[in-house]
């Protein structure tokens, strides 16, 4: 086991994704180039009234806190002059009102800001979903890894923090700070200037420094953290091998080394973080001290009496409460910017497929799809995934497409399903350009199982029925029977209501594929495209599934994509792909002859 | 969760040292708060009496020192707390990883490995907030109110009585409200997690949804679900915010009460201006830490929950280890002794039918056994028993005359080489991967083992040969290459017993035959158990074929012939 830091490509992949580069496509030249945080802010426009209310309530709450101490100071200073009680009665009432007001306004602020944040979150979720819906699946190639997708989803969830912590506290602090500075300027101009400088340093300078420090710290710690995660994951995934070969201690030593490295970085970062805490406190202290010094000096000169001195000093003391939360908010905004950038990248990603302005009406009945010189490049100037292939899919015929990984088999399926556009050549459906039909319409005629079919965290019935929501129980049972799944479903204690689990974890690999096949049969498209239907199956179930699906597709127009010849003696034609080109075509018998596939 | 998890505070000396510094600086900070209020009151009252700045210079200078001290204490306290967190996390992480590994592959199976990786890295990071925010605040919540109360009592006992009477209301209200809202909050968090899962599920399934024309309609579902969630969340939050309001109002009204009361007494000359100012400045300080601790409690729960889960795992008892010297165990030599299973039953928790059902079998040294049967028949379970990854629920396994339970697992395993169905390729060089069981092996021996396994050719073609670092579980290698690597690993072990679990399941026929031939050649004098559901060509010497079905040995054939009933169908054509 190597414990050398820097060897963790796994970790690096998780932590060091260049932001906003999920897509193969070009960025839309019209794409918005504003700061990603501002773009998210634009999404909040419909709710700006509510956000303003939150800011006003927040400012009122903080303002009440500052005023409470200032008025209390006035009360005591005035009382110490032993005037008539009338002179302080207004202050007595004000102190009580301000103390109650602080709590009530804080409550209102929280309600308004949280409600607005959740409403905006709903909008962001839906607009991201609509965009992903347009992009899937070709535009999301780089998101296919579950981790990246999960991260995008948590990015969306993180936007609520932006609106709860990122807007109200800074704006409220600005309002309160301005009020406190104005009051102080009126009492004693130089002291007001000191307070202004102190609040600016504490409310803008420290948060900016804190955000920068946090970013640097996160950058320093990311490789060590990635290395540790990779080492631990490696150790746990290989636990059986380590035990069997008595190598547990060596592997644990690698974890210890990675942990020591991370802990060393964490210790360094502790000093960086603590500086912002100390700096905030120091700035508040210096400001208070300066204001007091100027005030005392002015009192000595007779320019100020005890009452304004007390109000001035206590205002300076209390007004820093408005900025204490800002460094933490700035750190979070820094993290939110990364999330916002990834969200913006999704919103800006170009459409993978052109939609016709006036889609052609689909023909009824059987379809005949042909490809001529079909070429697909996922990136302009990039390698051709398909490089000039011809393919005929006449009604009622079953064609198999075979070849190694990366030969372009799944790209053919993507072209037929209108998930990607051709970069050259033609694809036609009953003689008309495939791109002249709307993509959604095409998929009502051409369907099947995608590679890695998704099993939803729902019941088996719901998972099957999504292929045809109007299907009767008999139709469901029929499709399941033809996919060889019905006996198993009936043997389950909860039958059709059995939950499939997240990503179908309650099902074996073979059962997931059979469920996907049942879906395709239930949807009953005119052209059935089955993309690697036996992937992720053990050899036993692979053979059985191939047998069953060939039996279920007799007489249907079918394109079967697979990576070996096993069991293909029943299809009408086999086409061998390699590096995006057709290498060979012929019947099973022709291909297994010496010199064949 | 308890307010403080004592086991978290007992994670090694370095952590204790940093925690002590945190506590010390917290106490120091408390003293400084008291001093600051006193000095500020002195300065303001002095200036009010007309004492010039010259006479107050000393007070102001001391105030400057105290303010600087507070800043230093704040920085130092946070640094120490974060370092304590780093030490605690490191200690927990190492123990957690080691314990999880020792719990063994049977326990780690399923989702556990992923959960533990996440727990050891991201999960424990939540402890930063626990140590750097919550714990110091909790400490201050205990120390500061008391210190402030004592100081005020010395200055003005009437105000002290008011504070002493209202102060306990804060924690009491806090706890009452916390009890009231906890169940609701937890339900809310579960709902939130569920929604996040739903969104992810829908997005991950987009290609499938599009294929069946169901994708667009989902946007409305998402909108509905999110909006329902917002309404539910806001109901909970309204309660939580109301409770915060109650706490804030209590503290604010008590402060107002003291301010007005002391103002009126000042008006009538019962207290001095300086004392009144001191009381006014200190009163909010008495309430602040208690309110903050409540707020930080929520920030700390994430880390505390992760720590709790880590302790749960650490409390899982390790498989029993035999006492180190219990007789003749040291002398078991599998190249000479029979391994006998007598009526062995193995069950996995949560599954009805046992994986192995009263299996009896004697494995003689040097013999070759082919173990066959359909998926789930118990073939891998039998190997797991021999590898000591599992222990039988009933029945005995003996080697020679010694019960297996008497032999330390590592000593037993040192006599076994294993080629699993899915061998793990570690993030390490090819050579290190092959020398997994023999870290001191010489390069020639490694290369020799690789040659025997048919791995040498492709290894030499890798860009740095045996020093090529394999990553991501060896994804750059084909399944056959990984299998050959595992075979080399097993050959290098020179163990008297070789267990192979479907070593050819994912291979093309040519590679499969190659591997079986290599095993037959190289392991002529060793005990070999080969699990497969295809009968390989003859291994070149007498072979016993055993078939398992539903956890039972259904046919034992000693003549080296395939029992027609189970195997003809699977014979390679």
CATH code of the domain in which B439 resides = 3.40.50.300
Is residue A460 assigned to a domain? yes
Whether residue B306 is found in the same domain as residue B349: no
Mean pLDDT of B432-441: 87
Is residue B77 assigned to a domain? yes
The reply to whether residue A239 touches residue B48, judged by beta carbons under 8 angstroms, is no
Cβ-nearest to A76 among B97, B112, B266: B266
Determine the Cα–Cα distance for residues B566 and B560; give it in Å rounded to an integer. Answer: 14
Whether residue B151 is found in the same domain as residue B174: no
Whether residue B387 is found in the same domain as residue B513: yes
Whether residue A293 is found in the same domain as residue A377: no
Whether residue B402 is found in the same domain as residue B495: yes
Instruction: Compute the nearest-CA separation of A7 from chain B (Å).
Output: 8
- Residue, of B114 and B69, whose pLDDT is higher: B69
Q: Does B127 touch chain A (CB under 8 A)?
A: no
Whether residue A341 is found in the same domain as residue A373: no
Is residue A27 assigned to a domain? no
> Is pLDDT above 80 for B9?
no
Cβ-nearest to B53 among A118, A240, A296: A296
Determine the Cα–Cα distance for residues B472 and A217; give it in Å rounded to an integer. Answer: 27
Whether residue B403 is found in the same domain as residue B312: no
Kind and range of the H or E run holding B134: none
Is residue A521 assigned to a domain? yes
The terminus-to-terminus CA distance of chain B in angstroms comes to 63
Cβ-nearest to A95 among B78, B238, B259: B259
Cβ-nearest to B253 among A99, A130, A231: A99
Whether residue A388 is found in the same domain as residue A341: no
The half-sphere exposure of B101 on its side-chain side, counting CA atoms within 13 A, is 29
Is residue B328 assigned to a domain? no
Task: Please give the pLDDT value at position A97.
Answer: 94
Is residue B281 assigned to a domain? no
Cβ-nearest to A289 among B67, B78, B267: B67
Q: Does A502 touch chain B (CB under 8 A)?
A: yes
Contact between residue B520 and residue B503 where contact means Cβ atoms under 8 Å apart: no
Residue of chain B whose Cα is closest to the Cα of A309: B44
Cβ-nearest to A118 among B47, B98, B230: B230
Instruction: Compute the nearest-CA separation of B563 from chain A (Å).
Output: 19
> Is pLDDT above 90 for B154?
yes
Q: Which residues in chain A have their CB less than 8 angstroms from residue B209's CB?
A: 454, 466
Which of the listed residues B258, B283, B318 is the one where a domain comes to its end? B318
Domain that holds residue A79: 33-348
Domain that holds residue B510: 334-570
Share of chain B above pLDDT 90, in %: 16
Q: Does B57 touch chain A (CB under 8 A)?
A: no
Total residue count of chain A as it appears in this document: 597
Distance of CA A244 to the CA centre of its chain: 40
Total tally of structural domains belonging to chain A = 2
Whether residue B115 is found in the same domain as residue B210: no
Whether residue A382 is found in the same domain as residue A335: no
Whether residue A341 is found in the same domain as residue A380: no
In a mutagenesis test of the B interface, which of A11, A245, A329 is the best target, namely the one with the most B β-carbons within 10 Å?
A: A245
Q: Does A178 touch chain B (CB under 8 A)?
A: no
Q: Does A240 touch chain B (CB under 8 A)?
A: yes
> Is pLDDT above 70 for B320?
no
Whether residue A323 is found in the same domain as residue A423: no
Distances (CA, A) of A39 to A55, A211, A337: 20, 20, 10
Is residue B134 assigned to a domain? yes
In a mutagenesis test of the A interface, which of B53, B208, B264, B438 is the best target, namely the one with the most A β-carbons within 10 Å?
A: B208
Those residues of chain A that have pLDDT short of 70 are 1-33, 140-148, 405, 503, 536-540, 564, 593-597
Instruction: Compute the nearest-CA separation of A37 from chain B (Å).
Output: 22
Burial A541-559 (b: 16+ CB within 10 A, else e): bbebbbebbbebbeebbbb
Cβ-nearest to B375 among A110, A133, A540: A540
Whether residue A373 is found in the same domain as residue A334: no
Q: Does A106 touch chain B (CB under 8 A)?
A: yes
Whether residue B207 is found in the same domain as residue B92: no
The reply to whether residue A296 touches residue B60, judged by beta carbons under 8 angstroms, is yes
Q: Which residues in chain A have their CB less than 8 angstroms from residue B238's CB?
A: 111
Please tell me the pTM assigned to this model. 0.77
Is residue A167 assigned to a domain? yes
The reply to whether residue A236 touches residue B117, judged by beta carbons under 8 angstroms, is yes
Residue of chain A whose Cα is closest to the Cα of B261: A92
Q: Does B269 touch chain A (CB under 8 A)?
A: yes
Task: Please give the pLDDT value at position A141.
Answer: 64
Whether residue B410 is found in the same domain as residue B486: yes
Whether residue B252 is found in the same domain as residue B297: no
The SS3 of residue A587 is coil
Is residue B2 assigned to a domain? yes
In a mutagenesis test of the B interface, which of A95, A221, A277 is the best target, namely the one with the most B β-carbons within 10 Å?
A: A277
Nearest residue to A245 (alpha-carbon basis) of B485, B209, B357 = B485
DSSP string, A259-311: HHHHHHHHHHHHHHHHHHHHHHHHHHHHHHHHHHHHHHHHHHHTSS-HHHHHH
Q: Does A246 touch chain B (CB under 8 A)?
A: yes
Determine the Cα–Cα distance for residues A437 and A433; give it in Å rounded to an integer. Answer: 8
Cβ-nearest to B212 among A9, A289, A466: A466
Is residue B167 assigned to a domain? yes
Whether residue A137 is found in the same domain as residue A263: yes
Residue A277, exposed/middle/buried by CB under 10 A (0-12, 13-18, 19+)? buried
Is residue B279 assigned to a domain? no
The reply to whether residue A75 touches residue B260, judged by beta carbons under 8 angstroms, is yes
Instruction: Compute the nearest-CA separation of A531 from chain B (Å).
Output: 12
Whether residue A246 is found in the same domain as residue A391: no
Which of the listed residues A314, A348, A382 is the one where a domain comes to its end? A348
Question: To 5 degrees, how large is the angle CA B422–CA B424–CA B428?
Answer: 155
Residue B317 CB partners (closer than 8 Å, separation 6+): none
pLDDT-derived band of residue B109, with 50, 70 and 90 as boundaries? low
CATH code of the domain in which A74 resides = 1.20.1560.10
Is residue A7 assigned to a domain? no
The first and second tokens of residue B348, run together, are 């996995």
Of the candidate ranges A204-213, B493-502, B559-568, the one whose mean pLDDT is the lowest: B559-568
Is residue A11 assigned to a domain? no
Which residues, numbered 264 to 303 in chain A, qualify as contacts with chain B under a Cβ-Cβ cut-off of 8 Å?
A: 266-267, 269-271, 273-275, 277-282, 285-286, 288-289, 292-293, 295-297, 299-300
Is residue A15 assigned to a domain? no
Whether residue A300 is found in the same domain as residue A376: no
Q: Which residues in chain A have their CB less than 8 angstroms from residue B428's CB?
A: 1-2
Task: Please give the pLDDT value at position A94.
Answer: 95
The reply to whether residue A104 touches residue B245, judged by beta carbons under 8 angstroms, is yes
Kind and range of the H or E run holding B47: helix B13-48
Q: Does A100 touch chain B (CB under 8 A)?
A: yes
Which of the listed residues A295, A313, A348 is the one where a domain comes to its end? A348
Whether residue A60 is found in the same domain as residue A120: yes
pLDDT tens for each residue of B369-408: 888 877 777 888 888 888 888 888 888 888 888 888 888 8
Is residue A4 assigned to a domain? no
CB pairs A-B closer than 8 Å: 413
Is residue B275 assigned to a domain? no
Whether residue B130 is found in the same domain as residue B30: yes
Distances (CA, A) of A132 to A138, A463, B207: 10, 21, 10
Q: Does B416 touch chain A (CB under 8 A)?
A: yes
Residue of chain A whose Cα is closest to the Cα of B87: A263
Task: Please give the pLDDT value at position B160.
Answer: 94
Instruction: Compute the nearest-CA separation of A406 from chain B (Å).
Output: 14
Task: Please give the pLDDT value at position A315.
Answer: 96
Cis peptide before A137 (omega within 30 of 0): yes
Task: Please give the pLDDT value at position A23.
Answer: 35
DSSP string, A161-199: HHHHHTTHHHHHHHHHHHHHHHHHHHH-HHHHHHHHHHH
Question: To 5 degrees, how large is the angle CA B402–CA B407–CA B410?
Answer: 145
Nearest residue to A137 (alpha-carbon basis) of B211, B547, B338 = B211
Total tally of structural domains belonging to chain B = 3
Task: Please give the pLDDT value at position B324.
Answer: 53
Contact between residue B322 and residue B406 where contact means Cβ atoms under 8 Å apart: yes
- Residue, of B368 and B278, whose pLDDT is higher: B278
Whether residue B350 is found in the same domain as residue B314: no
The reply to whether residue B83 touches residue A267, judged by beta carbons under 8 angstroms, is yes
Whether residue B107 is found in the same domain as residue B181: no
């Amino acid at each position: 086991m190597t414990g050398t830091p820097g060897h963790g490509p796994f970790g690096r992949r998780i932590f060091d994704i260049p932001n906003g580069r999920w897509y193969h496509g070009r960025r839309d030249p019209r794409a918005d180039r504003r700061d990603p945080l501002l773009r998210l802010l634009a999404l909040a426009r419909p709710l700006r009234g509510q956000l303003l209310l939150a800011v006003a309530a927040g400012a009122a709450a903080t303002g009440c806190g500052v005023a409470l101490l200032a008025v209390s100071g006035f009360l005591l200073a005035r009382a110490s002059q032993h005037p008539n009680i009338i002179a302080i009665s207004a202050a007595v009432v004000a102190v009580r009102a301000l103390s109650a007001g602080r709590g009530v306004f804080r409550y209102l602020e929280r309600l308004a800001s949280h409600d607005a944040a959740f409403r905006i979150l709903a909008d962001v979720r839906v607009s991201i979903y609509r965009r992903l819906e347009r992009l899937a699946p070709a535009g999301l190639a780089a998101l296919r890894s579950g981790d990246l997708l999960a991260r995008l989803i948590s990015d969306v969830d993180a936007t609520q923090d932006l609106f709860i912590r990122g807007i109200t506290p800074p704006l409220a602090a600005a309002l309160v700070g301005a009020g406190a500075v104005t009051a102080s300027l009126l009492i004693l101009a130089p002291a007001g200037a000191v307070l202004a400088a102190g609040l600016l340093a504490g409310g803008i300078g420290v948060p900016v420094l804190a955000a920068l420090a946090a970013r640097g710290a996160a950058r320093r710690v990311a490789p060590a953290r990635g290395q540790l995660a990779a080492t631990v994951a490696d150790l746990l995934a290989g636990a059986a091998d380590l035990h069997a070969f008595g190598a547990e201690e060596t592997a644990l030593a690698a974890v210890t080394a990675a942990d020591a490295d991370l802990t060393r970085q964490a210790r360094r970062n502790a000093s960086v973080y603590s500086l912002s805490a100390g700096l905030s406190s120091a700035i508040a202290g210096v400001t208070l001290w300066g204001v007091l010094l100027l005030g005392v000096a002015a009192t000595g000169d007779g320019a100020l009496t005890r009452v304004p001195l007390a109000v001035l000093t206590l205002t300076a003391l209390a007004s820093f409460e408005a900025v204490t939360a800002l460094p933490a908010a700035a750190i979070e905004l820094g993290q939110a910017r990364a999330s916002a950038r990834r969200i913006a990248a999704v919103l800006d990603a170009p459409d993978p497929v052109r939609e016709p302005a006036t889609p052609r009406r689909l023909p009824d009945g059987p379809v005949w799809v042909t490809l001529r010189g079909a070429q697909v490049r996922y990136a302009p100037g990039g390698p051709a995934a398909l490089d000039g292939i011809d393919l005929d899919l006449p009604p009622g015929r079953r064609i198999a497409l075979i070849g190694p990984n990366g030969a372009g088999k799944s790209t053919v399926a993507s072209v037929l399903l209108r998930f990607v556009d051709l970069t050259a050549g033609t694809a036609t459906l009953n003689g008309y350009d495939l791109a002249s039909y709307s993509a959604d319409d095409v998929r009502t005629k051409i369907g099947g199982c995608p590679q890695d079919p998704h099993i939803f965290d729902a019941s088996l019935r719901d998972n099957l029925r999504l292929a045809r929501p109007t299907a009767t129980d008999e139709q469901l049972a029929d499709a399941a029977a033809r996919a060889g799944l019905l006996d198993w479903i009936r043997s389950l204690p909860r039958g059709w209501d059995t939950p499939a689990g997240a990503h179908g974890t309650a099902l074996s690999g073979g059962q997931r594929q059979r469920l996907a096949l049942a879906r395709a049969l239930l949807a009953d498209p005119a052209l059935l495209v089955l993309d690697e239907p036996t992937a992720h199956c053990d050899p036993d179930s692979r053979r059985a599934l191939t047998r069953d699906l060939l039996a279920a597709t007799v007489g249907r127009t079918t394109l079967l994509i697979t990576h070996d010849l096993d069991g293909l003696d029943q299809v009408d034609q086999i086409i061998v792909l390699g590096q995006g080109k057709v290498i060979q075509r012929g019947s099973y018998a022709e291909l297994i002859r010496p010199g064949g596939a | 969760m308890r307010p403080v998890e004592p086991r978290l505070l007992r994670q090694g000396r370095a952590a204790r040292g940093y925690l002590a510094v945190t506590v010390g600086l917290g106490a120091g900070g408390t003293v400084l708060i008291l001093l600051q209020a006193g000095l500020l009151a002195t300065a303001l009252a002095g200036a009010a009496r007309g004492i010039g700045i010259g006479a107050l210079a000393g007070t102001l200078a001391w105030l400057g020192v105290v303010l600087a001290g507070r800043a230093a204490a704040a920085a130092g306290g946070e640094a120490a707390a974060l370092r304590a967190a780093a030490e605690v996390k490191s200690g927990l992480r190492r123990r957690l990883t080691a314990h999880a590994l020792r719990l063994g592959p049977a326990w780690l199976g399923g989702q556990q490995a992923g959960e533990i990786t996440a727990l050891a890295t991201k999960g424990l990071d939540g402890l930063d907030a626990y140590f750097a925010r919550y714990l110091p605040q909790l400490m201050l919540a205990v120390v500061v109110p008391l210190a402030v109360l004592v100081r005020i009592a010395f200055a003005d006992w009437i105000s002290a009585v008011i504070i002493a009477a209202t102060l306990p209301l804060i924690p009491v209200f806090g706890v009452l409200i916390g009890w009231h809202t906890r169940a609701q909050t937890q339900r809310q968090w579960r709902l939130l997690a569920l929604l996040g899962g739903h969104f992810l599920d829908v997005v991950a399934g987009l290609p499938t949804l599009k294929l069946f024309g169901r994708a667009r309609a989902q946007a409305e579902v998402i909108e509905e679900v999110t909006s329902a969630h917002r309404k539910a969340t806001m109901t909970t939050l309204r309660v939580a915010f109301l409770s915060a309001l109650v706490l804030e109002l209590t503290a604010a009204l008590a402060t107002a009460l003291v301010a007005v009361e002391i103002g009126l007494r000042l008006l009538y000359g019962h207290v001095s201006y300086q004392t009144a100012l001191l009381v006014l400045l200190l009163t909010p300080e008495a309430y602040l830490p208690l309110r903050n601790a409540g707020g930080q409690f929520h920030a700390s729960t994430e880390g505390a929950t992760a720590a709790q889960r880590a302790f749960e795992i650490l409390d899982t008892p390790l498989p029993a280890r035999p006492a180190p010297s219990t007789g003749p165990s040291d002398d078991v030599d599998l190249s000479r002794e029979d391994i006998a299973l007598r009526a062995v039953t193995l069950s996995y928790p949560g599954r009805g039918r046992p994986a192995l059902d009263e299996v009896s079998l004697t494995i003689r040294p040097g013999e070759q056994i082919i173990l066959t049967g359909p998926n789930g028949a118990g073939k891998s379970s039998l190997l797991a028993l021999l590898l000591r990854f599992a222990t039988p629920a009933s029945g005995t396994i003996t080697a020679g005359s010694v019960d297996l339970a008497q032999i330390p697992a590592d000593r037993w395993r040192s006599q076994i080489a294993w080629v699993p169905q899915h061998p793990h390729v570690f993030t390490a060089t090819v050579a290190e991967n092959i020398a997994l069981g023999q870290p001191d092996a010489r390069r020639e021996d490694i290369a020799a083992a690789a040659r025997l396994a048919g791995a040498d050719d492709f290894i030499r073609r890798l860009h740095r040969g045996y020093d090529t670092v394999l990553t991501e579980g060896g994804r750059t290698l084909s399944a056959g290459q990984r299998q050959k690597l595992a075979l080399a690993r097993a050959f290098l072990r020179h163990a008297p017993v070789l267990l192979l679990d479907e070593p050819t399941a994912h291979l093309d026929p040519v590679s499969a035959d190659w591997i079986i031939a290599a095993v037959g050649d190289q392991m002529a004098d060793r005990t070999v158990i080969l699990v497969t559901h295809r009968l390989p060509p003859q291994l070149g010497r007498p072979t016993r074929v055993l078939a398992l079905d539903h956890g039972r040995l259904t046919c034992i054939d000693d003549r080296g012939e395939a029992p027609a009933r189970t195997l003809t169908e699977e014979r390679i054509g």
